[in-house]
Chain A
Amino acid sequence: MDTKGQWKRSAKAAHTDQTVSQTGRQPGLSFELSESLAGIQSELGNSPDLIIRQIQLGGPLRIQAAAVHLSGLADTSAVNQFVIGSLLGNMEGLFMDSEEGGIDEGRLPAMILNRALEIGEAEIKEEWKEMMLAVLSGDTVILLDGYATSILCATRGGEWRSVGEPSSQLVVRGPKDGFVESVATNISLIRRRIKSPKLHLEYMKIGSETQTLVALMYVKDIAGEDLISEVRERLGKIAMNEVLESGYIEELIQDKTFTPFPTIYNTERPDVAAGNLLEGRVVIIVDGTPFVLILPAVFTQFFQSAEDYSQRFDIAILMRVVRYMSFIVLILGPSVYISLTTYHYEMIPTTLLINLLAQRENVPFPALVEALLMEGAFEILREAGVRMPRVIGQTVSVVGALILGSAVVEAGIITPIMVIVVALTGIASFAIPAYNMSIAGRLIRFAFLLLAGMFGFYGVILGLIVMVAHMNSLRSFGVPYLSPFVPLSVKGQKDTILRLPLWLMTPRKSPQQMRAELPEFMRLTTGNEELLAPLIGKAGRPPETAEGDQPDEQ
């Protein structure tokens, strides 16, 4: 394929391209080294971190060459030792067995690649865009004078955060390593746990500007083929300029936007990712974030912790029951209090009622306002605590606990029992292992608060009915959100609220199996693709070409 004629043609085309680029079109690779270099420089806006090292090759030809890389992104020692070192080394060997007349000029880049470069991953590319992407990814590009082609050497490196303990989803017992921002590292963390050839990996680049590397992982034969193709398709439809975090992907591929409940799980823990892969789920790793997406996700999954499987099963069941209870406390705590005190006072035991009465005696606000004030204050406190620099964090908790906790009661603005209720819901929200489920609960809590204030328990029950109906309508990649409760599967209960001993749980039921058991009408996949239409391009287009800046080329 690499014939001389083809080169010339493509080179010529590139050449004309580059000349036009002066007037605003795309630059291309040129036969003139200086022109190519100038093109790179101008496209990167003469960025000072672009390092261009000009070299004269040894051997009979004395050709000018240049190694281009971005400092910081590339591993400097690799560039020095293996790229520039190889080029400056003895080039005589290159031409030892070449034909008479010396050198076949056209084959020079291939010969350098084959015989000189001491780099594991290197290839020849003629496309200007690919070359630029390589430079921006941290690779080193070798350009040769007289050749409109480039050799890309993988020298990606630079500084990454090292693998450390995850900042969320902590466990007492269990592995302490967490994902980092690098896709390659994250994949290695998973692969170390599943040494199976069935663990498949696919790469895509999403984001027309960011060109973010997105890795799709699944275990072949365990994950359903239709699930994988559905994920692939939804990822392919994403047409965004930037993908900076896995949350961007999550929001664009989830089944339903208008719901407080998360339908895609995310984790910082490689052991969780590995476990879910083996249960037949798909893992999406996004470059630049330690949070990895796991899908499909059902409601019960958000109440599981990696530790459930490290601890004895009875202890794990206790912990899970506590988590479900704390979710109920979180969404219903203040609303039950309001309903009881303003509508259903007869349900409170008399002795407690007398205490409540005495407490409420001099409080100026109705219970609803009281609850809104206190919950609002608590949310402010929590938000402040999260965003605060760590040094000041202590101050926040001290001020929050003291001022809001006791002073507000002493000032007679809030009843002590309200402080207890709010504190309880606050603590309960931390007991839920998945942060996104916990913030969902925090949001729903306010809806229930208002319902309780307006209708008492009647409203709370109506709200619960609506909430459960809504949860029933949710699907995560075709899997009903409340499964295995709705539709009920007795076998599926092995790992929900219960966590049976491991030997009883195998073989586990994959989401695909659960889905396959559904009646046909329940196997809907998506709910809101139409709503997302502005962001989603034509179906079936590969993501690399789904860029907004050159739509007419397709």
Chain B
Amino acid sequence: MNNKRLGLSLLITMQMLLPLVLTGCWDSVELNRRAIVSGVGIDRGPSDDQKYILSFQVIIAEEISGEQTRSSSPVALYSGSGRTMFEALANASRQTARFLSLGHVRVVVISEEFAREGIKDMLDVLERESDMRLTSLVFISKDQPASEVMSTMTVFSKIPANDLVEKLDTTSKQFGYNYKMEVDDVIRGIQVRGGGPVINGVFRTGGRERGDSNDNLKTITPDTILRISRLAVFKDDKLKGWLEGKTAFGTVLLLNKLKEFPVVIKKDNGYLAFNVYQSQVSVDAEAKDPEHPVIIIKITQQAALKESPNSLDLTSPEVLEKLSEQLTMEARSQIREAIAAARKLESDYIGFGEAVKRENPHGWKKVKDHWEDIFAACEIKIDADTVIRHTDMRGNSFQVY
């Protein structure tokens, strides 16, 4: 009897287990059936039938770390066009031998042309697609088609998309106003009423003829270099203009994303250079009357003196005090210029509206529909303070004696 029960339970177990085998291996795809996409370029096509032209930068792994390389390009660019992005993807995958896999897309480059038209719809796709990650970095290719950026051979990192990621990382940590702007940051930026996202610009310099071949790397000075520069600022989802230099620094200061950046001030007949290695900005609003808010910007900075051609007595507190005052002035002027630029572009991408909303949520509801007018005229108070912490490895320069 026990044997019977044992047999019965075995039978039931088998009947429960065997259907599992029937399902097969679900959606398994072996690695060598995949084409890993490292970057996507999105261009505006000439007609509505070809609205989207997607360029997929596909990694050829064997070229990068395989044993039998053919000394060909480490990535390949496949393009497809369509009325929708999904159609363009399907179109592009007809050219590839393997499944285009979007799980490792690290860079999305959108052409300036498309950005001026509006990027809402494509961001919806980037967010919806299950394979894509929201931590991909977004760039706007300035004056150039995105596919050109995607097809530039780079010196470091054989995969151009990775090169772009690393470049952004380096600049954002050292001297740049560019900072990491990911897909979800962009989407959040679009949702800000009256404002828009700020996206890094990228373009390639130099001759375009040899940029997409190994030849680009054969010379010591590469013909073509991918450059991350300028900030594309948006109103809602449409590109409004480009910021650079002082304006860009001021903008990123206001967004509190700046880590380290150089500041140069003129003193007598020479220039002094400082490294601002910490800056903390807070944007608050006094908004009891939401129609006439006062924006209060507090900024504290810490700087280190890097270069001093003048024969200044750097050991004297008075001298440093004066220098730090000059630095404060510089910061004020950066911020003023940034605000002026934003007002000119009529886009509150620097987040004043958010400050008002935080302070007076009910009042914000009343003014949010005509925030643009208030933004253009509201009063601004800047409270800046800079401390020079040290003068690096030396006190006075040897030139002083």
A366 contacts B by Cβ under 8 Å: yes
Jot down 14 A-B pairs with beta carbons below 8 A, ordered by A. A345-B31, A345-B103, A346-B103, A346-B133, A350-B36, A353-B104, A355-B61, A357-B59, A358-B66, A361-B61, A366-B28, A456-B26, A456-B28, A531-B2
The answer, yes or no, to whether A549 is at the interface (CB within 8 Å) is no
* Min distance, Cβ B27 to any Cβ of chain A, angstroms: 7
Interface residues of A in 441-467 (CB under 8 A from B): 453-456
> For the complex, is B65 an interface residue (Cβ under 8 Å from A)?
yes
Beyond A361-B61, A361-B62, is A342–B32 a contact (Cβ under 8 Å)?
Answer: no
CB distance from A340 to the nearest CB of B (A): 9
Closest to A370 in B: B30
Q: Is A199 an interface residue (CB 8 A)?
A: no
Residue-wise interface mask of B (1-20) relative to A, using a CB-CB cutoff of 8 A (1 in contact, 0 not): 01000100000000000001
Is B29 an interface position by the 8 A CB rule? yes
Q: Is B343 on the interface with A (CB-CB < 8 A)?
A: no
Residue from the list A353, A533, A534 in contact with B36, Cβ < 8 A? A353
Closest CB of chain A to B229's CB: distance in Å? Answer: 25
Q: Is A335 an interface residue (CB 8 A)?
A: no
Residues on A with beta carbons closer than 8 Å to the beta carbon of B21: 454
Q: Is A367 an interface residue (CB 8 A)?
A: yes
Collect the chain A residues with CB atoms within 8 Å of residue B67's CB.
358
User: Which residues A70-92 have CB closer than 8 A to chain B?
Assistant: none
Bitwise interface map of A from 332 to 361 toward B, beta carbon under 8 Å scored 1, else 0 = 000000000111011000100111111011
**A346 and B104 contact, CB distance less than 8 A:** yes
Does B216 interact with chain A (Cβ within 8 Å)? no
How far in angstroms is the closest Cβ of chain A from B164?
Answer: 13
Contact of B25 among A357, A453, A533 (CB under 8 A): A453
Are B101 and A350 touching (Cβ within 8 A)?
A: no
Q: Is the CB of A343 within 8 A of B28?
A: yes
Check A360/B23 contact, CB under 8 A, given A346-B133, A350-B104, A531-B2: no
- The yes or no answer to A530 lying at the interface (CB within 8 A) is yes
Q: Report the contact-size class of chain B (Cβ under 8 Å from the partner).
A: 20 to 34
Report chain B residues within 8 Å CB of A455. Answer: 26
State whether B29 touches A342 (Cβ < 8 A): yes
How far is it, in angstroms, between the C-alpha of A357 and the C-alpha of B159 when the chains are bound? 14
Is A350 a contact of B38 with CB atoms below 8 Å?
Answer: yes
Binding site for B on A (CB under 8 A): 341-343, 345-346, 350, 353-358, 360-361, 363, 366-368, 453-456, 530-531, 533-534
Within 8 A of A (CB), among B45-76: 59, 61-62, 64-67
* Interface SS majority for chain A: helix
B106: interface (CB < 8 Å) = yes
Can you add 13 more A-B contacts, CB < 8 Å, to A357-B61, A456-B28?
A343-B26, A345-B29, A350-B38, A353-B36, A354-B36, A354-B64, A357-B36, A361-B32, A361-B66, A454-B23, A454-B24, A530-B2, A531-B2
Q: Which of A355, A361, A534 has the most CB of B within 10 A?
A: A361
Mask of B99-122 contacts with A, CB within 8 angstroms, 1/0: 001011010000000000000000
- When C-beta atoms are compared, the residue in chain B nearest to A347 turns out to be B103
Determine if B143 is an interface residue (Cβ-Cβ < 8 Å): no
Separation of A343 and B34 alpha carbons in the complex (Å)? 11
Give min CB distance, A523 to chain B, whole Å.
Answer: 25
**A residues within 8 A CB of B27?**
343
Residue of B whose beta carbon sits closest to that of A361? B62
Contacts of B30 in A (CB 8 A): 341-342, 360, 366-367
Q: Which of A346, A367, A531 has the largest number of chain B CB atoms within 10 A? A: A346
User: Contacts of A350 on B, CB cut-off 8 Å?
Assistant: 36, 38, 104, 106, 162
Cβ contacts under 8 Å, B24 to chain A: 454
Residues of A with C-beta under 8 A to B23:
454
Interface residue? B131 (CB, 8 A): yes
Contact residue among B2, B31, B66 (Cβ-Cβ distance under 8 Å from A341): B31
Contacts of A342 in B (CB 8 A): 25, 28-31
Which residue of chain B is the closest to A342 with respect to CB atoms? B28
The residue in chain A whose Cβ has the minimal distance to the Cβ of B66 is: A358
Residues of chain A lying within 8 A (CB to CB) of residue B2: 530-531, 533-534
CA of A462 to CA of B28, assembled, Å: 17
CB distance from A344 to the nearest CB of B (A): 9
Asked if A354 contacts B65 (CB within 8 A), the reply is: yes
Contact A454:B20 (CB < 8 A) given known A342-B29, A345-B103, A350-B104: yes
CA distance in complex: A357, B30 (Å): 10
For B101, list chain A residues within 8 Å (CB).
345-346
CA distance A533 to B103 in the complex (A): 57
A433 shortest CB reach to chain B, Å? 32
- Give the Cβ gap from A356 to chain B, nearest Cβ, in Å: 6
Judge whether A358 and B29 touch: CB under 8 Å: no
A358 and B25 within 8 A (CB): no
> A346 CA to B103 CA in the complex, in Å?
5
- A367 near B64 (CB under 8 angstroms)? no
Residue of A nearest to B29 (CB): A342
Q: Are A357 and B34 in contact (CB under 8 A)?
A: yes
| Bound complex: CA A456 to CA B6 (Å) | 31
For the complex, give the distance between the alpha carbons of A17 and B178 in Å: 107
Closest 10 CB pairs of A and B: A346-B103, A357-B61, A358-B66, A342-B28, A358-B61, A360-B32, A358-B65, A360-B31, A354-B61, A350-B104
B219 to chain A, nearest CB (A): 26
Complex CA distance for A454 and B24, rounded to whole angstroms:
6
* B31 x A367 contact (CB < 8 A): yes
| Cβ 8 A contact of A357, one of B6, B29, B31, B162 | B31
| In the complex with contacts A346-B103, A350-B106, A533-B2, A356-B31 CB distance below 8 A | yes
B259–chain A nearest beta-carbon distance, Å? 24
Is B34 in contact with A454, judged by CB distance below 8 angstroms?
A: no
Enumerate chain A residues within 8 angstroms of B159, measured Cβ to Cβ: 354
A353 to B61, alpha carbons, bound, how many Å?
9
Determine the chain B residues whose CB is within 8 A of the CB of A360 once the complex forms.
Answer: 30-32
Among A345, A363, A366: residue with most chain B CB under 10 A: A345
Which of A343, A350, A354, A356 has the most B CB atoms < 10 Å from its CB?
A: A354
CA of A490 to CA of B34, assembled, Å: 49
The residue on A at minimum CB distance from B101 is: A345
Nearest chain B residue, comparing its CB with the CB of A355: B65
* B66 contact set on A, CB distance < 8 A: 358, 361
* Chain A proximity mask over B267-294: 1 for CB below 8 Å, otherwise 0: 0000000000000000000000000000
